[in-house]
Amino acid sequence: MAHEILIVDDEPDIRALIEGILSDEGYETRVAQNSDTALAAFRARRPSLVILDIWLQNSRLDGLGILEAMQREEPQVPIVMISGHGTIETAVQAIQHGAYDFIEKPFKSDRLILIAERALEAARLKREVSELRLRAGAETELLGASSSVSQLRNAIERVAPTGSRVLISGPAGAGKEVAARMIHARSRRAGEPFVALNCATLNPARFEEELFGVEAGTDGAGGGRRAGVLERAHGGTLLLDEVADMPLETQGKIVRALQEQGFERVGGATRVKVDVRVIATTNRDLMAEIAAGRFREDLFYRLAVVPLRVPALRERREDVPVLARHFMSRSAETSGVPARELSEDVLAAMQAYDWPGNVRQLRNLVDWLLIMAPGGPGEPIRPEMLPPEVGSAAPAALKLDRSSEIMTLPLRDARELFEKQYLEAQLLRFGGNISRTANFVGMERSALHRKLKFLGVQAEDRSAAV
């Protein structure tokens, strides 16, 4: 989307000149001639950049006063000062008060364009650094080759550039926020803010303040204006995480805000216009929540323009090895501890487990194994090092105490027992996919079907779904 630049100058000719130069470069512009109109425009909709004259006739505040007011309210918005009567002292003072740069009139259009580009790029980089610090370790890619994840990635690639609102459902810990971040990263808003509001952890009494912000002086103690997440996400993407936990009263207000692309801050009367793409996530059945009177039907249909579903980890067991190895590398890098190899037996045991906490639980387990598993850095992690609840789900073929059972059986029975346990483990590894299991074990697909039937192994053939 095009950046919007607010031009503040008391001379109509200068305003028109700057507006023409920037418009020709593809920027959207707004203009103001004094402090009151400038601050009103700034508060109504946050611009990407401000071009601000220092000397303003018939204005309550001069440019430096406006600069200070804007910096107090939104310090992340870059401001370029201009003046036809500037001195070195004035320029230094403007920079000290937070201005990005200073241009002396008359200026060349090329210099104005260059400084505007640099200011916007500097602001973008500051936002990215700030978000990286805030969200250190956040995943931004859905890993795995299972059919369900491949289909989800394809859907994200299609919906991301459109700007449509998206409702992402799925169990807790499955990766809904990762999917939301993928949509933002592949959208036309990728260079703008990504702001997340966790509706499940927020105090209901503070919900509207966090969402819409607070007008100056509302608390009675002379506090300054505070921007809410809708305002901070202007131009970018707002994630309403676990939206089913939003209070009903607030749901009605967010419906209106989505419809009008605007809102009023708590305690304020000024309409704030925003351009925000909203993505929502939920681990609940929202239709059941609507039937129970806990969620507004009109909000559901505004959010669920494009519904997506993130599968539980147990629905894509074949992705467990690539996820586990990825988390091991990430954890080792973060903690400064050498990564350890995850043995094939451990990966098969992990694939057999149901993962009620989904991908988040797997990541936590890998972190725990790196720190707590016995043995040195060069020793692979074995099934007996797993926590009991995970290790107990391992296929019988991975148990270390099975030799005595096999040794008491005739050769034919022992071979059949081993084959049954071995094939059960491989089916778990490949998520029940007969074709991939047959390729791995070196059998024809039809022969594997016959073998499984002979051994009494129940298998749902998922080959057609891939």
Query: pLDDT digits over 219-266, tens only?
Result: 554 556 788 899 899 999 999 999 999 999 899 999 999 998 899 888
- E strand or H helix that includes residue 345: helix 344-352
Q: What angle do CA 425, 398, 356 make, to 5 degrees?
A: 65
Q: Which of 43, 49, 8, 37 is nearest to 216 (CA)?
A: 43
* Residue 354 main-chain phi, psi, to 5 deg: -85, -15
**Number of C-beta neighbours around residue 348 at 10 A:** 21
Which two three-digit tokens encode residue 447?
């022969």
Report pTM.
0.68
| pLDDT value at residue 465 | 45
Spell out the domains of the chain, with CATH numbers in brackets.
Answer: 4-135 (3.40.50.2300), 147-311 (3.40.50.300), 314-394 (1.10.8.60), 397-455 (1.10.10.60)
| pLDDT value at residue 139 | 67
Match 């505070």 to its residue by tokens. 226
| pLDDT value at residue 155 | 97
* Residue 413 main-chain phi, psi, to 5 deg: -65, -40
pLDDT averaged over consecutive 10-residue blocks of the chain (466 residues)?
A: 88 94 93 94 90 92 92 88 77 84 88 93 79 56 91 96 96 95 93 90 85 76 73 93 93 91 87 92 96 96 96 93 93 86 88 92 94 86 87 57 62 83 78 82 87 80 49
What gap in Å lies between CA 349 and CA 171, rounded to an integer? 22
What gap in Å lies between CA 30 and CA 80, rounded to an integer? 15
| pLDDT value at residue 104 | 86
| pLDDT value at residue 86 | 62
What gap in Å lies between CA 91 and CA 81, rounded to an integer? 8
Say how many residues make up the chain.
466
| pLDDT value at residue 224 | 66
| pLDDT value at residue 137 | 47
> CB–CB of 41/6 below 8 Å?
yes
